[in-house]
Amino acid sequence: MKCGMQNAECGVEIPGVRFRALDPALRAPQSALAFRVAHVLRKFNPAEWGGTETAIQRLTAGLGEQGVASIVYCPGLNDVSGEPLAGDGCAIKRFRAFLPILGISPEQRRQMIAVGGNLMSFDLPLALWREPDITLIHAHTLGRLGGIAAAVARARRLPLVVTIHGGYLDLPPALKNSFARAARAGLEWGKIFGLLLQSRRMLARADAILTCNPNEARLLREEFPGKRIQVQPHGIPVALEDQDGRAAAREAFPQIRDRQVLLAVGRIDPVKNQGWLVTQALTIFRKHPRAILVFAGACTDEIYGNRLRKQIREFNLEKKILLTGGLPPGDPRLIGLFQEAQAVVLPSISETFGLVLLEAWAAGTTVISSRTSGATALVKHGENGWLFDLEDAATFHAAVDATLANPNLGKQLAMAGKTLAAGYSLSAVAGRVKNLYAELIEERHALRYSARR
């Protein structure tokens, strides 16, 4: 399949929405043990690696170990230097996609493609329709691409699973408002595609909805009573501490040597809220002169990234705050940063799960997190980590002070967290997903059999 991101202003003839009869060779095999799953993603860009990319990589790797083949469909890129998922036994198939909005700047277009933009593709429907021997479609996106996945699943009479990665109902009002403002930018000419695909009915048509935290699940059950909704956390390699990456981290980032490292892992983006940490940095460094703040993550918002760097310069903190850029999971430098850190800090405005918290615990490191729904489902304040309120900076500084002043307490909290993290191994998480697949496929086969009688 030809890769590449199609320009939004290109004129393309809209294909018909009706499907012809499916070739028997393309129908799902009758054996529930032969799982071949098509995953549909809104984006998978190695240069903008974040928590969702990590979660999908680990899920497909875990499924592969349990005999589930994954075919991952994602929009094309102009330059792909290696496919991270391909090394885990997945087939990667990239399709042309575009953002159907006129009258926005190139920067706005790049930002909407990177985060949250409602993409459309004319290639994806036919590609999914022709994909042979798939037993189930798993959509990791909503919007038009998710609507395509739902339409093809319905036409091929395949089960549809939808995973909500970034939150749907469980979002702070400020974040909902920012998404609404972004949706009003420019002239949106793609609404007709959503109507044809009935993308707003996607969740109602799904056979199962997976979400990362109990609060999102509760809200979804209220919205879709009777729907199969399952809390499905992300998996981690629970033996991160066994891989010693400290030397690699010190060599790559010599600034961290003999320092008290406060590590913030996540894409550089307003939702991750690194700017709030910079505003607190002067107080941290006045109390703890040996401290250094490390931001590890790719920038997915160019405007916010420039503002953050300017803020660091204005505070004269270039020697106290380090930006590493994107580091893929499993990179010895990233593992080493986790292991070197006195604490991993998560100041997010919204965090539906908090994968970074589990990774920190697996590396034997204390966590300090804002009170998001994902963090509060994992962190027990004062037992396995610390929680703080973004509106009350004193609660954050109290946690930092307690951690840096009392290393033994930090180790005690980290060990309690590591015990919890052990339940989120890749095999355990992937096993639960495989069992769900098996139930849905068996139910679909039973319905077909009863309809023939």
Residue pointed to by tokens 């991160």: 240
Does 240-424 match 26-235+426-452 at the fold level? Answer: yes
Q: Which of 256, 238, 232, 218 is nearest to 342 (CA)?
A: 256
Which run of H or of E encompasses 312? helix 302-314
CA distances 264 to 23, 170, 213, 257, 430, Å, are 51, 23, 21, 17, 27
The class of domain 26-235+426-452 in CATH terms is alpha beta
Please tell me whether residue 60 adopts helix, strand or coil conformation.
helix
Angle (CA) 392-394-396 rounded to 5° is 85
Side chain identity, residue 152: V
Other beta carbons less than 10 A from residue 68's beta carbon: 23
Query: How far apart (Å, rounded) are the C-alpha atoms in residues 72 and 85?
Result: 8
Residue 73's beta-bridge partner residues?
40, 93
Q: What is the pLDDT of residue 4?
A: 43
Please list the pLDDT of the chain residue by residue as tens digits (453 residues): 334 433 333 323 333 334 333 433 333 343 444 589 999 999 988 888 888 888 898 899 889 888 899 999 999 987 666 677 765 568 899 999 999 999 888 888 888 888 888 999 999 999 999 999 999 999 999 999 999 999 999 999 999 999 998 778 887 777 667 666 666 778 889 889 989 999 999 999 999 999 988 889 999 999 999 999 999 888 888 666 678 999 999 999 999 999 999 999 999 999 999 999 999 999 999 999 999 999 999 998 889 999 999 999 999 999 999 999 998 888 899 999 999 999 999 999 988 888 899 999 999 999 999 999 889 989 999 999 999 999 999 999 999 999 999 999 999 999 999 999 888 888 888 999 999 999 999 998 777 666 665
Which sign does the torsion angle of CA 80, 26, 57, 208 carry? positive
Residue pointed to by tokens 């199969």: 228
Give 100-125 as a DSSP string. -EES--HHHHHHHHHTT---B-SSHH
Taking only Cα atoms into account, the Rg of the chain, rounded to an integer number of angstroms, comes to 23
Strand pairing class (343-346; 366-370): parallel
Give the residue extent of every domain in the chain.
26-235+426-452, 240-424
SS3 percent helix, strand, coil of the chain, rounded to 5, is 45, 15, 35
Q: Which of 387, 450, 393 is nearest to 413 (CA)?
A: 387
Q: What's the CATH fold of domain 240-424?
A: Rossmann fold (3.40.50)
3-state secondary structure 367-413: EEEECCHHHHCCCCECCCEEEEECCEHHHHHHHHHHHHHCHHHHHHH
Burial of 8 (C-beta count, 10 Å sphere; 0-12/13-18/19+): buried
Q: What is the pLDDT of residue 180?
A: 65
Helices and strands, counts by H and E, the chain: 17, 15
Tokens representing 381 are 């304040």
pTM: 0.80
CA distances 81 to 47, 57, 66, 77, Å, are 9, 16, 28, 10
Tokens representing 27 are 């129908």
